[in-house]
Every structure is written in C-alpha cells, then in structure tokens.
C-alpha cells in the first residue's frame, strides 16, 4: 500500500501532495514520494543480496474505464524472456473467471516509463517478472457471456486468492492441477530503449526511460493465441 495518505483523503490515484506515484519510480524523492523511495531502496537491497531470489513484482491498481482484471507486462529484446513472462497471466486466466488474457498487453509506451512495472522490468535481471495487475472499478464479463457482473468486495478478494493459487500452479506446488505445457507467445523483436541504471547488476540491460523510447511505443495486445 504505497498511497496511504491519498487514499485516506479519498484519492484513488494521487498522493496527499497531488503526485501520481506510479509515474515517479525513476527518481523518487524521499520527501515528496517517501513510500516509493523506501520500497525502491528495499527492492534494490534485496536484488543485490545473493541470498535473496526476487522473482516477481506485481503492482496492483484499479482501472476506471476497462472491465475485468488484466495485466500489463513489458517488452524485451530477449525473445525467451518475453515468452516466459506470458506464462503467469495465462495461468491466472485459467484460475480466475474474471481475469481477461485478451485484455492483457505487453508494451513500453513512453508515458509509462515512470511506472514500477517499467522501471523494475529494466532494473531486475531476466529471472524476474514485473507486472501491473489492473482490476475494474465496476464489473467483469465472464467468457462466452455478455452480461456485466458487478464487482463486490468478496469478488475482489476471490481474485486475490486466485492470484495466490496461480503461484502454486506456477511453481508446480498444487498436487490437484495436471501438469500441462503452457503455449508460448510470439515476439516481434525490438531494440530496447538506451538507458542504463547505475545500480544495474548482472545481465539486466533493458532499462526504460522517457527519452529513449519516444518512437518505440508498441502495444502487443495478445502476443500469442489465447486459450
């Protein structure tokens, strides 16, 4: 929970000082964005600790216009890395009737350069996966139907449980699930934005910024055939 003061005042996007916190990950201020600054330092500390395996970052938001739950992921020049990051949202789509893989997209739009998903996708190495999980303010449509089902507190909590269940499937810890192969997406290769963070470690070289990808804004709505 990175926006406690804003939410306390009834804001759903901005902090007490009026900042959209999910646009300030590149250089958060300890004074103006203290929660981002603290979490960023913690993640860097964990990443540089050889005893810690930092494999997932999921930033959870509500969406004011779209329906269902869906994810945003990153685009990488490394085709295998791009393919692997599609596995988790595909598994989540199998577990959660309100999650839409068809609405899930992989992009590196310039306007999203300051988001946690974009920043950490460039900072962390190829063994880590960074997503934004968006969930509608309003309702969801179950596949094969057209009727909108309003979200309730219980429905939001159920999606959270399904995210946890998807981790069990991902790590093959659920004995009730048949071990099935997950189809991989196809990637149209692109050059990464030319940005390097001074705290990069290992092979992570695809760090986003607002300058390098002004003309590389690509939106892959569905990098593979949906289930």
Tell which residue, 164, 137, 142, has the closest CA to residue 152.
137
Three-state DSSP class for 205? coil
Half-sphere exposure of 183 (CA within 13 A, CB side): 9
Question: What whole-number distance in Å separates Cα of residue 114 and Cα of residue 219?
Answer: 17
Whether 122 and 57 have beta carbons less than 8 Å apart is answered as no
* Strand segments (E) across the chain: 56-63, 69-73, 105-107, 129-136, 139-141, 148-150, 219-220
The CA angle 209-128-61, to the nearest 5 degrees, is 65
Tell which residue, 131, 102, 104, 127, has the closest CA to residue 115.
131
Half-sphere exposure of 54 (CA within 13 A, CB side): 18
Residues marked active site are found at: 134
């Amino acid at each position: 929970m990175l926006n406690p003061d804003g939410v306390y005042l009834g804001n759903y996007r901005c902090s007490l000082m009026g900042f959209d916190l999910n646009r300030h990950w590149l250089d958060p201020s300890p004074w103006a964005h203290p929660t981002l600054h603290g979490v960023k330092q913690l993640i860097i500390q964990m990443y540089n600790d050889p005893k810690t395996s930092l494999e997932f970052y999921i930033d959870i938001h509500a969406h004011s216009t779209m329906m269902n739950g869906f994810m945003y992921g990153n685009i990488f020049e490394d085709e295998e890395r791009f393919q692997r990051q599609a596995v988790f949202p595909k598994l989540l789509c199998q577990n959660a009737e309100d999650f839409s893989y068809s609405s899930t997209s992989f992009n590196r739009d310039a306007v999203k350069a300051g988001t946690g998903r974009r920043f950490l996708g460039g900072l962390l190495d190829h063994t880590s996966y960074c997503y934004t999980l968006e969930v509608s303010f309003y309702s969801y449509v179950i596949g094969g139907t057209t009727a909108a089902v309003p979200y309730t507190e219980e429905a939001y909590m159920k999606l959270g449980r399904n995210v946890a269940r998807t981790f069990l499937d991902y790590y093959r810890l659920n004995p009730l699930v048949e071990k099935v192969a997950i189809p991989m997406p196809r990637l149209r290769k692109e050059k990464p934005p030319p940005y390097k963070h001074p705290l990069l470690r290992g092979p992570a070289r695809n760090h986003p910024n607002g300058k390098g990808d002004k003309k590389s804004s690509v939106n892959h709505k569905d990098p593979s055939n949906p289930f």
